[in-house]
């Protein structure tokens, strides 16, 4: 496991950073952004990324995700669009992240929304993951391991 950063916006508009105590992964980790309004989904995505060697920055909304993006260079981002109250703002965040070079964007979306998947592919996301649930932790960790390989290859090609 790696450090887990949780960001929350205070009433003054600042972003607070809370680092949990966790063991360091043996390999040098890259930065992964996780944005979800669901606490259980944030935890699932963060733990899966940590198992694969990513340092995660976890945000509960698009404002904090954008603030984290403006401070940190991410190589991987998970954006959860399921059950959102502000889908247009999260979609804007997806578009911003997908337009960055060397940033792999994975969107967790609805299994029943083919239009959302078409939109995600048009934006240029790396993966669209429909119907992600808590029982998919092992598969998500495997995806995160593959993202380490892909992001390493993309850095070598530059």
Give the pLDDT confidence of 2-46 residue by residue, as tens digits.
Answer: 444 545 444 334 343 433 333 333 344 689 999 999 999 999 999
Greatest Cα-to-Cα distance within the chain, rounded to the nearest angstrom: 43
Does pTM top 0.75 for this prediction?
yes
- CA–CA separation, 51 vs 30, rounded Å? 12
SS3 at position 85 = coil
């Amino acid at each position: 496991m790696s450090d887990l950063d949780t960001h929350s916006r205070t009433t003054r508009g600042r972003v607070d950073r809370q680092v949990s105590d966790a063991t360091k992964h043996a390999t040098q980790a890259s930065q992964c952004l996780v944005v979800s309004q669901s606490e259980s989904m944030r935890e699932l995505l963060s733990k899966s990324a940590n198992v694969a060697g990513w340092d995660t920055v976890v945000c509960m909304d698009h404002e904090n995700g954008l603030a984290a993006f403006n401070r940190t260079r991410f190589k991987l981002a998970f954006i959860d669009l399921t059950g959102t109250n502000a889908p247009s703002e999260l979609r804007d965040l997806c578009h911003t992240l997908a337009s960055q070079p060397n940033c792999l964007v994975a969107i967790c979306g609805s299994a029943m929304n083919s239009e959302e998947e078409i939109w995600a592919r048009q934006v240029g996301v790396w993966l669209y993951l429909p119907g992600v649930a808590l029982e998919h932790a092992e598969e998500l960790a495997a995806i995160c391991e593959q993202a380490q390989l892909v992001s390493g290859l993309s850095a070598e090609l530059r």
